[in-house]
């Protein structure tokens, strides 16, 4: 991308604020227009607090920004955006294509209020046939592609990858164990016994024969499935002809595994080898985009997205913005099919081609098999949005019920639930889960490692005080309540209701934190388990109210139980992960210069880290790869108090 030049007034600050009322809206935009060039670039609009309102791109910055200075003809969304603008920033680019790429990147990173924003943008899983070892390994991979090997995907979900890998293991008998496990094996593992691995680790198969299996797996994943089937079928027939029925049965089982992969992929188009299919459906002011992934002529799954977009946007506008952001950090196939005709389809295709390094075709088919794929995706988008609207309606009724149960002035849109977990005070942590109008917001869950050194082990009240103090101290710093509107997403969002897992004592501890911090407009409730921890007999505590229960069959009670149980699950899971990590820690990891290879050599030589700690210098120097200097460092690490 060409060097860019940034200009503009920048976000307003207290130091720069004039004595009189700051100019807003059209005046700010008109002032910016005077110094803009007729060049492509990206512009950003900021509100008085410095938050980004909107990110846009233009072939001519001057003409595009000038269009906002008209007194009429704007939608309500654009009019609100203009009125809220307090400052602007600009970046010029060499081409409009570069501007489009930069715009998509900034929208994903900044999530402006008035843009179409892609949400739930988790990375996709791939199948990796890793070849850094003499015996290639088949594994699920997610993230940066640093490992040497061949990657196949993307798959829509981890479940789809796991099912495919299981089938491929039965079909091609490839190993999935780590290299360290492979090296330490002295006899075949259970996967060999159940015919899901050829066991190259113990020499049950020659490495050259295993390499042939790897080649067959690559051919299958590369779209040559029919050729692989024909080869296996011929081998099965050949074994059967010579009465080698045991070998023939192995080939039969491998063929059945390949059939399983094909039958669980649904639609497998004949005319589309590699493509992503996007279909958008709008209803009730919301949008759903269904994405199907086709690679090597096989359907590798689909995923539904619900982008944040104002209802004034057309379906084509939302889809165009979505596709630009979708491929910001993902590889793009050669063909992208959409359900809508996009206004800037040629520009978007050029931008995707630039990013992918190969030609990308973007089209909206009207007939044939490709249109059938669009129709199928549209049906899935319509059904997914229908389910979401039904769930949101049900969620809204439950939140209204919570407001009535706790006599809240307004229906809560964000509920935070807190719980603690520890074993005799060890590995203590607090957990926060978040629920709102769209259900559990797992991206906003948080863990709090208990740091106070003066806490008595097992002091649940003290732990809850620390967690709430840290959470709301940070919240008051990042988003003071006198700052106007709440943020729509993220940590700096105030809850309407806080629920504490515990009884009257927990409530008192939480109330003291709120009083000390000056938090006054957040409702606080504690929920205590029933006698003998029976669900349905929970007691609720609120300041200024007598303890009370809800009817046993009340849907609101079930909802609150779900919130409490989710917080408990998250706290327990986080605690177990921390404990497991601590238990798995090895003293050798703390010694500079000890990497995986030397650690493995030491453990193989001495048998355990404890035996290493007792070894003398000469024994340590006798280990392969351990120099005299490193041996001294290891010895000193375990004998640091010795004279």
d(CA 364, CA 367): 10
Last-in-domain residue among 349, 368, 387: 387
Q: Let me know whether 563 and 439 are in one domain.
A: yes
553: domain CATH number? Answer: 3.30.420.340
Q: Let me know whether 30 and 57 are in one domain.
A: yes
285: domain CATH number? Answer: 3.30.420.10
Q: Summarize pLDDT for 249-301 with one digit per residue, the tens.
A: 777 777 776 665 555 455 556 677 789 999 999 988 889 999 998 887 778 88
Q: What is the mean pLDDT of residues 195-219?
A: 89
CA-based nearest residue to 281, from 340, 341, 356: 340
Confidence of residue 605 (pLDDT cuts 50, 70, 90): confident
Identity of the highest mean pLDDT range in 222-226, 369-373, 438-442, 625-629: 369-373
What is this structure's pTM?
Answer: 0.69
Question: Which pLDDT score, from 0 to 100, does residue 43 have?
Answer: 95
| Pairing state between β 446-449 and 286-295 | unpaired
- Report yes or no: 153 and 300 within 8 Å, Cβ to Cβ: yes
Question: Which pLDDT score, from 0 to 100, does residue 16 have?
Answer: 43
Please tell me which residue, 118 or 222, carries the higher pLDDT value: 118
- Report yes or no: 198 and 188 within 8 Å, Cβ to Cβ: no
Cα end-to-end span (Å), the chain: 61
* Residue 550 host element (H or E): none
pLDDT at residue 461 is higher than 50: yes
CA-based nearest residue to 354, from 64, 615, 564, 93: 93
Q: Summarize pLDDT for 474-496 with one digit per residue, the tens.
A: 888 877 764 434 444 555 589 99
Question: Which pLDDT score, from 0 to 100, does residue 642 have?
Answer: 39
Question: Which pLDDT score, from 0 to 100, does residue 165 have?
Answer: 85
C-beta contacts of 627-631 below 8 A and 24+ residues apart? 630/593, 630/594, 630/598
Confidence of residue 641 (pLDDT cuts 50, 70, 90): very low
Alpha helix positions (H), 242-312: 245-263
Question: Which pLDDT score, from 0 to 100, does residue 3 have?
Answer: 43
Confidence of residue 121 (pLDDT cuts 50, 70, 90): low
Q: Let me know whether 442 and 427 are in one domain.
A: yes
| Pairing state between β 126-130 and 137-141 | antiparallel
Q: What is the mean pLDDT of residues 179-208?
A: 89
- Cα angle 329, 335, 340 (rounded to 5 degrees) comes to 90
Q: Let me know whether 570 and 594 are in one domain.
A: no
Question: Which pLDDT score, from 0 to 100, does residue 269 have?
Answer: 66
Please tell me which residue, 638 or 113, carries the higher pLDDT value: 113
Reported in sequence order, the residue ranges of 306-451 that DSSP labels E, i.e. its strands, are 335-338, 361-363, 414-423, 426-436, 439-440, 446-449
Q: Does residue 407 belong to any structural domain of this protein?
A: no
Identity of the highest mean pLDDT range in 193-197, 451-455, 573-577: 193-197
Q: Let me know whether 222 and 131 are in one domain.
A: yes
70: domain CATH number? Answer: 3.40.1440.10
Question: Which pLDDT score, from 0 to 100, does residue 580 have?
Answer: 65
Question: Which pLDDT score, from 0 to 100, does residue 72 have?
Answer: 76
Mean per-residue pLDDT over the chain, rounded: 83
Q: Does residue 242 belong to any structural domain of this protein?
A: yes
Q: Let me know whether 425 and 553 are in one domain.
A: yes
Confidence of residue 11 (pLDDT cuts 50, 70, 90): very low
CA-based nearest residue to 4, from 97, 98, 87: 98
Q: Let me know whether 230 and 311 are in one domain.
A: no
Question: Which pLDDT score, from 0 to 100, does residue 574 have?
Answer: 75
Reported in sequence order, the residue ranges of 190-334 that DSSP labels E, i.e. its strands, are 275-283, 286-295, 298-305
pLDDT at residue 332 is higher than 50: yes
Task: Give the three-class secondary structure for 526.
Answer: strand
Number of structural domains in the chain: 5
Q: Let me know whether 568 and 424 are in one domain.
A: yes
β-partners of residue 287 are 282
Q: Let me know whether 457 and 340 are in one domain.
A: no
Question: Which pLDDT score, from 0 to 100, does residue 266 have?
Answer: 52
pLDDT at residue 20 is higher than 50: no
Please tell me which residue, 226 or 418, carries the higher pLDDT value: 418
Q: How much of the chain exceeds pLDDT 70, in percent?
A: 86
Question: Which pLDDT score, from 0 to 100, does residue 389 have?
Answer: 86
Identity of the highest mean pLDDT range in 46-50, 64-68, 171-175: 64-68
Question: Which pLDDT score, from 0 to 100, does residue 133 have?
Answer: 87
pLDDT at residue 35 is higher than 90: no
Q: Does residue 441 belong to any structural domain of this protein?
A: yes
- Report yes or no: 118 and 325 within 8 Å, Cβ to Cβ: yes
Radius of gyration (Cα) for the chain, nearest Å? 30
Q: Does residue 121 belong to any structural domain of this protein?
A: no
d(CA 379, CA 376): 5
Please classify residue 253 by burial: count the beta carbons closer than 10 Å to its beta carbon, then call 0-12 exposed, 13-18 middle and 19+ buried.
middle
Q: Does residue 320 belong to any structural domain of this protein?
A: yes
pLDDT at residue 23 is higher than 70: no
| Pairing state between β 497-501 and 523-528 | parallel
Confidence of residue 584 (pLDDT cuts 50, 70, 90): low
DSSP per residue over 31-82, as a string? HHHTT--SS-EEEEEE-TTS-EEEEEEESSHHHHHHGGG-SS---HHHHHHH
Residue whose token pair is 């809206």: 25
pLDDT at residue 403 is higher than 80: yes
Q: Does residue 447 belong to any structural domain of this protein?
A: yes
Domain that holds residue 283: 275-387
**Does the N-terminal peptide bond of residue 154 adopt cis geometry, omega within 30 degrees of 0?**
yes
Q: Let me know whether 99 and 246 are in one domain.
A: no
Question: Which pLDDT score, from 0 to 100, does residue 484 have?
Answer: 38
Q: Does residue 373 belong to any structural domain of this protein?
A: yes
d(CA 42, CA 93): 8
pLDDT at residue 398 is higher than 80: yes
- Cα angle 191, 195, 198 (rounded to 5 degrees) comes to 75
Q: Summarize pLDDT for 337-389 with one digit per residue, the tens.
A: 999 999 999 999 999 999 888 999 999 999 888 999 999 999 999 999 988 88
Q: Let me know whether 577 and 605 are in one domain.
A: no
Q: Does residue 208 belong to any structural domain of this protein?
A: yes
Please classify residue 368 by burial: count the beta carbons closer than 10 Å to its beta carbon, then call 0-12 exposed, 13-18 middle and 19+ buried.
exposed
Q: Let me know whether 573 and 471 are in one domain.
A: yes
78: tokens are: 């654009």
pLDDT at residue 408 is higher than 70: yes
Q: Summarize pLDDT for 159-183 with one digit per residue, the tens.
A: 778 878 887 888 888 999 988 888 8
Alpha helix positions (H), 406-428: none
């Amino acid at each position: 991308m060409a060097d860019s030049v940034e200009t503009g007034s920048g976000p307003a600050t207290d130091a720069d604020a004039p004595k009189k009322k700051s100019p807003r809206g059209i005046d700010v935009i008109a002032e910016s227009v005077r110094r803009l060039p007729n060049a492509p670039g990206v512009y950003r609009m900021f509100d008085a607090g410095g938050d980004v309102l909107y990110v846009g791109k233009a072939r001519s910055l001057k003409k595009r920004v000038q269009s906002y200075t008209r007194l009429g003809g704007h939608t309500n969304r654009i009019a609100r955006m203009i009125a809220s603008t307090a400052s602007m920033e600009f970046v010029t680019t060499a081409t409009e294509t570069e501007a489009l790429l930069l715009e998509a990147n900034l929208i994903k990173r900044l999530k402006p209020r008035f843009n179409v924003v892609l949400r739930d943008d988790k990375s996709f899983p791939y199948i990796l046939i890793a070849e850094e070892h003499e015996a290639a390994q088949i594994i699920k991979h997610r993230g940066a592609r640093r490992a040497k090997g061949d990657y196949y995907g993307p798959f829509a979900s981890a479940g789809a990858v796991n099912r495919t890998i299981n089938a491929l293991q039965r079909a091609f008998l490839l190993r999935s164990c780590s290299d360290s496990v492979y090296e330490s094996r002295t006899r075949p593992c259970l996967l060999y016994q159940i015919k899901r691995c050829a066991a190259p680790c113990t020499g049950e198969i020659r490495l050259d024969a295993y390499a042939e299996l790897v080649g067959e797996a690559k051919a299958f994943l590369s779209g040559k499935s029919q050729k692989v089937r024909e080869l296996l079928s011929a081998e099965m027939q050949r074994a059967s002809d010579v009465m080698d029925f045991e070998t023939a049965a192995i080939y039969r089982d491998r063929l059945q595994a390949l059939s399983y992969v094909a039958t669980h992929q649904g639609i497998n188009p004949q005319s589309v080898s590699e493509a992503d299919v996007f279909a958008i459906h709008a209803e009730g002011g919301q949008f759903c985009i269904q994405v199907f992934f086709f690679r090597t002529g096989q359907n590798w799954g689909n995923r539904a997205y619900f982008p944040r977009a104002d209802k004034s946007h057309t379906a084509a506008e939302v889809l165009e913005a979505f596709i630009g952001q979708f491929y910001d950090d993902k590889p793009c196939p050669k063909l992208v099919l959409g359900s809508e005709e996009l206004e800037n389809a040629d520009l978007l295709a050029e931008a995707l081609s630039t990013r992918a390094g190969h030609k990308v075709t973007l089209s909206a088919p009207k007939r044939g098999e490709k249109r059938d794929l669009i129709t199928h995706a549209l049906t899935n988008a319509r059904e997914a949005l229908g389910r979401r609207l039904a769930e949101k309606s049900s969620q809204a009724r439950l939140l209204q019920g919570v407001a009535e149960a706790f006599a809240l002035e307004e229906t809560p849109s964000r509920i935070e639930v807190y719980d603690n977990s520890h074993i005799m005070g060890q590995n203590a942590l607090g957990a926060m889960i978040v629920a709102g109008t769209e259900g559990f917001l797992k991206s906003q869950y948080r863990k709090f490692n208990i740091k106070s050194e003066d806490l008595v082990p097992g002091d649940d009240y003290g732990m809850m005080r620390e967690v709430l103090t840290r959470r709301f101290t940070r919240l008051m710093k990042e988003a003071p309540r006198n700052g106007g509107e709440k943020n729509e997403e993220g940590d700096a969002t105030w809850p309407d209701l806080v629920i504490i897992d515990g009884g009257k004592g927990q409530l008192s501890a939480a109330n003291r934190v709120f009083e000390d911090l000056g938090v006054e407009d957040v409702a606080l409730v504690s929920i205590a388990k029933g006698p003998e921890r029976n669900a349905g007999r929970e007691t609720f505590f609120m300041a200024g109210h007598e303890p009370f229960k809800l009817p046993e069959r009340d849907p609101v009670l079930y909802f609150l139980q779900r919130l409490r149980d989710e917080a408990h699950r998250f706290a327990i899971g986080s605690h177990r992960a921390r404990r497991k990590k601590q238990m798995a820690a090895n003293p050798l990891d703390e010694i500079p210069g000890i990497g995986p290879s030397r650690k493995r050599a030491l453990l193989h030589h001495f048998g355990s880290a404890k035996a290493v700690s007792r070894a003398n210098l000469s024994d340590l120097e006798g280990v392969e790869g351990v120099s005299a200097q490193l041996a001294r460092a290891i010895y000193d690490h375990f004998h640091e108090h010795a004279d």
